[in-house]
Structure 1
Amino acid sequence: LADDMDNLSVKSGSSKSGKSGKSKDSSVDMQGMSTLAHVEEMIEAGLIRAFRMPDPGKPDGIRTFRKPIMTLKDVSFKYPSGDKFILESVSASLTLGSRTVIVGGNGSGKSTFLQLLIGDLEAEEGTGEHWKHHNLRLSYVAQQSMHHLEEHLTSNPIQYIQQRFREGLDKEISKLKTLAITKEEEEMMQELGAVNEVVGRAQKGKDLWYEIKKTGRSGVGETKSVPLSEIETMYKPYVKKLVKNYDMKAQATDSGMAIRPLTAAEVLKHLDDFGIDSQLAHGKIRQMSGGQRQRLVICAAFWSMPHVIALDEPTNYLDNDSVAALTKALKDFKGAVVTVSENESFVDAISNEKLEIVERKVVLTQLRDAKAR
């Protein structure tokens, strides 16, 4: 752990639940101890339940923790029903070494910026560029993730993860607006000569080429190899979604997620890495406390072994012990972290750069040697 963690005091993001699954014998006072330096010892002693995050490895061609894996450049955003921009000409860059916190006043657009960065919102047409490595695996824990669990209250945590990843992909990531195909777009795909599928991908020099399939008269369409640059400029927007979905399937295969067995034993092992023991794992989600449910959504986000984890107010519902364990795990994680959080102690502990939203712009402040690790 970094030296600055030795004297850190971490406070929970919310006191809504005092039952995050910690041992009854735990007596960690995060304001009184020399804090996170002793967290691992207390985890080993069974006094704090851990978060143990898998090593994602590095995407193809990324050999260091300093090289960009995702960038946003001069992007603007406003909601379709609005006439004023929420964000104007904003930029950001993430590396595997990034521990990035997004801050700003209430209503400044923090969560909106996070959603833009990870692809849950689309930038204003004609503004800026959004790039991410084609084999980058990303997971997102939104503020409303807890509400998403309401659909699974009669399932247990094992069944929840099995259902979410049954098709070899993360159903929650597939719902992102830049990935989800609308009904109108599905109808477009059936038109004669329209692109209806991406069936292959190849690297030619520095460029990515995709093999696209078009709807034919006999139902058997022709295929054509097209560079990504042409798809981005010459084809209808839904084709880019098909490309991104193809990339996501390739990412799942690359991580082993597509063939990772969704057996109860395998899922139980993963749950245990995030402090959800066998008793909790076999019980109904509706019986879990707020803190336990927060652990579950974080745990599920790591099933795909992401290179980037995006977290919107992750300390909500967690008690002091769990926040301490999460803080240590994110410091140790070998991928990038980008978060929105009003928990100052948590932010101070994990972040090496700050993106502050001021009057619709983003101001970068480097806090530590962000990319060295």
Structure 2
Amino acid sequence: TNHLDLEAVLWLQDYLKSYKHTLIVVSHDRAFVNEVATDVIHFHNKKLTYYRGDYNSFEGTRREHIRTAIRAYEAQQAKIQHMQEFIDKFRYNAKRASLVQSRIKELERLPKLVAVEQDQAFEFSFIDQEKLSGNILQVEGITFGYGGEDSILFRDVHFSIDLKSRIGILGANGSGKSTLLNLILDQLHPKAGFVHRHGNLRVAAFTQHHAEQFNYRLTALQNLLNIFPSENEQDMRSLLGRFEIGGDIALRPMHFLSGGQKSRVAFAVLVHSNPHVIILDEPTNHLDMGTIDALIGACQKFKGGLVCVSHDQHFITQVTNELWVVGGGQVTRFQEGFDEYKKLTLQNFGKNVNKK
């Protein structure tokens, strides 16, 4: 689903749900997997474990398996300790010799359960910033296009953002969603209208191209010191450590880091910018499910405004409460909720296919 717009994702999952043959999917899109999967194969510690059901069922079943395994291990450890104490106490007692030997043999026959390694969930959070009152960012009647009058993407757009805003921007690829974000970020300027920002407003962005802000020949630590030149090395090491980029990893050129590690460096930059508003443009691309969950958790706890473009259905429903649709030269608020938007999107897609 990477690089597909939501319309294409919805069509694909609808098609695959009725697909009559075997389907094998590798995906980090939770909602997509929930819709199309009937079984989940979990690859962990060089083993494949099979689960019936969708991804949510897999998560619940695996949690229960882990709890059961922990209880069994703890019970066995208690039993072993009790038996060993008996053996140690009566080892040299002639009257108890047969009982001691029986306990020793029983101890030897016990299947050795291994301590369960619980997954350590990655988490992060934003720093609480000073409050700004009122509408901290207002979009007033903006019109924008990359060429002449016939290439206008949208006209006369009005909306405002405050510290409680949780806005999801929807629309087909090419409709102007990312363009609208760039106008908010002051990276583009409208042909008409204006974007008014509070004088003390700080805005930070995390995009599908977040890695482009880094020089891959430099280390993660060097990149952060370049981005935040007033900070000292120890503070930047501590910041990276909070995102599990510590020790030698922080001192490797960034082209040696995995995609997930690069994303965590970008998260560190986002958090240390201490923004009042965060802008997210397809942030889940190239993230695994655990990292997506960490981003969702941080966004839910964030005490500032949020505007995001995403085709990830789970992400949208978890972090937004207001939807705006870009298309047909307009940016309009969609009041009926995300489920209704998905239904209408599929219906319209079907009509377009039938016309062709």
Amino acid at match of 2:217: T
Alpha carbons 2:208, 2:284 under 8 Å: kept: no
Question: How far off is 1:117 after superposition?
Answer: 1.7
1:58 and 2:131 correspond: yes
Q: Residue 311 of structure 1: SS of its match in structure 2?
A: strand
2:257 to 268, 288, 292: 288
2:319 to 337, 342, 350: 350
The alignment's TM-score, normalised by the length of structure 2, stands at: 0.61
The alignment's TM-score, normalised by the length of structure 1, stands at: 0.58
Root mean square deviation of aligned Cα = 3.3
Question: How far off is 1:112 after superposition?
Answer: 0.6
Following superposition of structure 1 onto structure 2, how do residues 99-114 of structure 1 map, counting pairs within 5 Å?
Answer: 99-114=166-181
- Tell me, which stretches of 5 or more residues in structure 2 are unaligned? 1-27, 34-43, 64-117, 338-356
Alpha carbons 2:125, 2:271 under 8 Å: kept: no
Report the equivalent of 1:223.
Answer: none
Alpha carbons 1:290, 1:317 under 8 Å: kept: yes
1:147 and 2:212 correspond: yes
Alpha carbons 1:90, 1:361 under 8 Å: kept: yes
Following superposition of structure 1 onto structure 2, how do residues 31-110 of structure 1 map, counting pairs within 5 Å?
Answer: 31-32=56-57, 33=59, 47-59=120-132, 62=133, 67-80=134-147, 83-110=150-177
Residue identity over aligned pairs, in percent, reads 30
CA displacement, residues 173-226 of structure 1 (integer Å, 9 cap, x when unaligned): xxxxxxxxxxxxxxxxxxxxxxxxxxxxxxxxxxxxxxxxxxxxxxxxxxxxxx
Question: How far off is 1:80 after superposition?
Answer: 4.1
Report the equivalent of 1:215.
Answer: none
Alpha carbons 1:101, 1:347 under 8 Å: kept: yes
Following superposition of structure 1 onto structure 2, how do residues 158-169 of structure 1 map, counting pairs within 5 Å?
Answer: 158-166=221-229, 168=230
Report the equivalent of 1:136.
Answer: 201
Q: Residue 300 of structure 2: SS of its match in structure 1?
A: helix
Amino acid at match of 1:54: I
- Tell me, which stretches of 5 or more residues in structure 1 are unaligned? 1-9, 16-22, 38-44, 169-261, 369-373
Question: How far off is 1:55 after superposition?
Answer: 1.4
Higher helix share: 2
Alpha carbons 1:104, 1:110 under 8 Å: kept: yes
1:336 and 2:305 correspond: yes
Larger Rg: 2
Alpha carbons 1:14, 1:319 under 8 Å: kept: no
- Cα gap change, 1:282/1:102 in structure 2, threshold over 3 Å: closer, same or farther? same
CA displacement, residues 216-262 of structure 1 (integer Å, 9 cap, x when unaligned): xxxxxxxxxxxxxxxxxxxxxxxxxxxxxxxxxxxxxxxxxxxxxx2
Amino acid at match of 1:49: F
CA distance in 2, matches of 1:83, 1:284: 46
Number of aligned residue pairs: 241
Question: Taking CA–CA contacts closer than 8 Å with sequence separation of 6 or more, which of the two structures ends up with the larger relative contact order?
Answer: 1
